[in-house]
A and B are shown apart, each in its own frame.
Chain A
Amino acid sequence: MEEKQLIEKAQNGDKKALAELVKNYEQTIYNFAFKICRDKNYAEQIMQETFYSMVKSLHQFDYNSKLSTWLYRIVANHCLMMARKVRSRPFVSFDDDEENLFEEKYAADWNTIPYKVAENEELKNILDNAIQNLSPDYRLVFLLRDVEGLSTEETAQVTELSIPAVKSRLHRARAFLRKEINQAFT
């Protein structure tokens, strides 16, 4: 069944259609929540909150955006709320040291960075640590645009930022993460 039909049925109270929609997006939402908070328990909690919100407000969904974009917006909000609640470490501030982001030293030989992320726990730890030094607003932009593959416009829609603001956060996040990995392999 087409997604549009599923949505219409779900909006009219069809539980089967609603369950189908949830199933279609649960893995994406769980994975995304994990990528923001880097914790499986929090990821599950955020996923539950996201679908609870979706069920409650699906009748308001008006096809002005894709359902996926609409869901990213909900999950992003829940991620930010969670981050505020459990904030555990200081985040990097870009005001003073943006220049340092573009250091020209190449300590790590990038070609040796194991490409098989799935099997390498050390690399996973490095990736978790690096991204957790970014404030959640920056994480969101990087993950939506670069990892989930949303367009710059869609990312702006989800985060309610202007396009220049998305671009500015994106390039800082990219440069920062690259630098962290570079240093970790030094």
Chain B
Amino acid sequence: MKKEKITCKEVMKHVCESLGENLNDDKCVEIRNHLDSCPNCREYFKSVEITIECYRKYNVQMPEEAHDRLMKMLGLED
């Protein structure tokens, strides 16, 4: 029986499941082969990575006063 070709939708779902995980199992080899030949899925893969990157880079600095209030609240001020 001929194996069904993997669809773009499956690839997208798998990309979302496996990003950052082990990419060497059988399924992943298939996925990578698909990515090599499908610009649409490559674009998707990249856009998920950019999404994560955006949230990683969006950080806030704790105000100095918040530190002071915290230490005071805990009874740990110098």
Contacts and interface: CB of A to CB of B under 8 A. Distances in A.
Contacts of A23: 67
Interface in B26-63: 40, 43-44, 46-48, 50-62
B17 interface: yes
B14 to A, nearest CB: 9
Interface stretch (A64-72, A75-83, A86-94, A171-179): A171-179
B60 A19 contact: no
Contacts of B5: none
B76 A178 contact: no
A123 B54 CA distance: 9
B55 A106 contact: no
Interface string A153-167: 000000000000001
A30 B62 contact: yes
Interface in A84-133: 102, 104, 106, 108, 110, 113, 115, 117-118, 123-124, 127, 131
Nearest to B58: A117
Contacts of A141: none
How extensive is the interface on chain A, given as a class?
Answer: 35 or more
B47 A26 contact: no
Interface of A: 15, 18-19, 22-23, 26-27, 30-31, 34-35, 40, 43-44, 47-48, 51-52, 55, 102, 104, 106, 108, 110, 113, 115, 117-118, 123-124, 127, 131, 142-143, 145-147, 152, 167, 170-172, 174-175, 177-178, 181-182
21 contacts: A18-B76, A22-B70, A26-B62, A31-B60, A31-B62, A44-B69, A48-B73, A55-B74, A104-B40, A106-B47, A110-B46, A115-B53, A123-B54, A146-B52, A171-B17, A174-B52, A175-B13, A177-B51, A178-B47, A178-B48, A181-B54
